[in-house]
Structure 1
């Protein structure tokens, strides 16, 4: 299937799902989910796979076993292309619009320690800071979960303390409701933007 863009019905579907997140609504509208969301995002990631690799398209159902929020369905559809453990490229469609991102969303203690050791290193840490500064200047937003203070073993006055605080780290770019979302041109827009983040993923591959 060739990607031709997401229809407006994709955004309408998630607008309505936020109002009525129930199995009754889902069953009544699952054909819209399939045609307006699942099929286009599958075609989109298939076209990106030649350069970035195959994507994992996340299930629409929420895992509510350990959550106080028992709503059964996610109010967004995401897809992830791994470049390493819990690291890679991301895209998502939801009621607020379309967005892309890159980075790592989880790291066990040893891997996180390696990342922080590299950030602490004057050469490698400065390289990461330069990569992120360039991305932010180019319109990316830095995010991720962070500690409120310095991680154990590091001084609060460290020149890269803000990076050292990260337990996960990502950069995201919000497309909102740009008209390109509804056209085949979205494929090359994402290619361009994901390529911009490749130095970040390469740094993580080298040092994590």
Structure 2
């Protein structure tokens, strides 16, 4: 597929997830799986194919939830996501849901050693301020900085550390919602995602070059 193959997401894609939130059942899925295939999956594949030359191959997530250890046993995800990895659980993200589309990038989970390396880089007097400045710039430009955080200081760091808010992160990602206006789901979406993913590249560069794992 090429960029011209992506013609946007039809409103049926948003309607599909609206309805799935109301009736998350196998019966609904079986009746509407053709809508998922044509309105969600195929445009998703075309969009990711258009972005692949610049960013790499995307993993388009399966629509099924892993309910083995979950209290919530509803079988289907009420959104569709894709991820382009540049390191374990680190990379660019795109999502379609009843609330429209959104983009982001960052690290979404980390093993103990990797998280420790990230925090050491955050604490470093050169690398840490560089990340703080980068995140501040993203926020000024309208991005949202998120990720699960500890309520207290992580082990080995004091609560009065100058970058304690950064150090509390167990995940760190930057993203923004597009909504469901024409430029959020239409054919021009590919260029919007391309531009925003490129603007998030400095964050991924920091996350893949500054932390030094043992």
What TM-score do you get using the length of structure 1 for normalisation? Answer: 0.98
Provide Cα deviations, 1:76-133, integer angstroms capped at 9, x if missing partner.
Answer: 0000000111100000000111100100011111111111111111110000001111
Cα distance, 1:183 vs structure 2 = 2.2
Q: Is 2:47 aligned against 1:44?
A: yes
Provide Cα deviations, 1:41-84, integer angstroms capped at 9, x if missing partner.
Answer: 00000000000001000000001100111100000000000011
Which of 187, 190, 205 is residue 187 of structure 1 equivalent to?
190
**What is residue 157 of structure 1 aligned with on the other side?**
160
Please give the root-mean-square deviation of Cα atoms over the aligned residues, in Å: 0.8
Contact 2:101 2:185 survives alignment (8 Å) = no
**What is residue 84 of structure 1 aligned with on the other side?**
87
**What is residue 23 of structure 1 aligned with on the other side?**
26
- What SS does the aligned partner of 2:129 have? helix
**What is residue 141 of structure 2 aligned with on the other side?**
138
- What SS does the aligned partner of 1:83 have? strand
Which of 26, 32, 35 is residue 32 of structure 1 equivalent to?
35
Provide Cα deviations, 1:23-44, integer angstroms capped at 9, x if missing partner.
Answer: 0000000000000000000000
Cα distance, 1:177 vs structure 2 = 1.2
Contact 2:95 2:103 survives alignment (8 Å) = yes
**What is residue 105 of structure 1 aligned with on the other side?**
108
**Mind listing any 5+ residue stretches in structure 1 that lack a counterpart?**
none
What TM-score do you get using the length of structure 2 for normalisation? Answer: 0.95
Contact 2:93 2:105 survives alignment (8 Å) = yes
User: After TM superposition, what 4+ stretches of structure 1 lie above 6 angstroms from structure 2?
Assistant: none
d(CA) in 1 for partners of 2:114, 2:45: 31
The number of residue pairs the alignment matches comes to 208
